[in-house]
Amino acid sequence: MRSITLNGPAKINLYLDVINKRSDGFHNIVTIFQRINLYDSIKVSIIPRGVVFNCSYPHLPKGPANIAFKAARLMIKEFNLSKGVRLALKKRIPVAAGLGGGSSDAASVILGINKLFGLKATPGHILRLAKTIGADVPFFISGYSCAVGRGVGDRLKEVSNSLSFYILLLIPNIRVYTKTIYNRVRLPLTKPAVNVNILARILAGKCKDEALASSLYNRFEEIVLPLYPIIKKAKEEMSLYTDRVLLSGSGPTIFGLFSVRKEAIEAAKKIRREGKWQTVLTKVV
């Protein structure tokens, strides 16, 4: 086998709170990750040496600044590989949109190299490597569809999501960088009125889903919405069609949850008339 192609999913955050700042400069968080049916595709091929990255997506870093490139170089170094890899990425997940596309690509590279070279690395070894690349990468390595993430997001506990809903993504045409938003977090933080454990129980079907809308939470909304009026407007627009609305990650994506696909389609049609943002209809996986 000289090449392997993997599909890396996007994610949304159904819950996201910042707990405190760590001594290493990162923040401890608690979040609920949910995979969604929107994928990048990356082909990993063996070449004589080095790392070559190809992608036609504009403005995407192609060298060491790219997280998938970093993941490939780390794997080559960690396992002392005598060959290199070429990465060919088909980008469908918007960049810097709070959907985890870069982290998902990095996870695909790690998993792809592990399989392509027959490394048979243990899951624990792979997860430790993933954590050094990015905080969201372990979630995509894990294979979980839905999970509570703690620490920097790397300590994962699977959530059995029994709810089947359609997801309408509303993506303003701006980029929001996670580091910028974290730099604006002010500690100490007030405790949110909602609880991650309650939301996990709702998703698992152990509580009535009528409380789902009031249990969705993202600490970053108090920073992002005042800072970016177009994102605030996007949330207001989505809220006309569903009360299950939230910012994903640090944004700019706003998502709405719908139980009925037809209702999500109708909302997408009406929102598209505004012409200010991209809309994507997807679902949980």
Residues annotated as part of the active site: 11, 136
Q: Is 172 exposed, middle or buried (0-12, 13-18, 19+ CB in 10 A)?
A: buried
Distance CA 132, CA 154 (A): 10
Q: Which H/E stretch holds residue 197?
A: helix 196-203
Q: Which H/E stretch holds residue 16?
A: strand 3-21
Q: Which H/E stretch holds residue 88?
A: strand 84-90
21, 63 in Cβ contact below 8 A? Answer: no
Distance CA 218, CA 226 (A): 14
| HEC secondary structure over 35-85 | EEEEEEEEEEEEECCCEEEECCCCCCCCCCCCHHHHHHHHHHHHCCCCCEE
In 3-state terms, what secondary structure has residue 257? Answer: strand
CA distances from 196 to 14, 150, 202, 231 (A): 9, 11, 10, 24
Positive or negative torsion for Cα 100, 106, 109, 114: negative
Q: Which residue has the tokens 């599909």?
A: 7
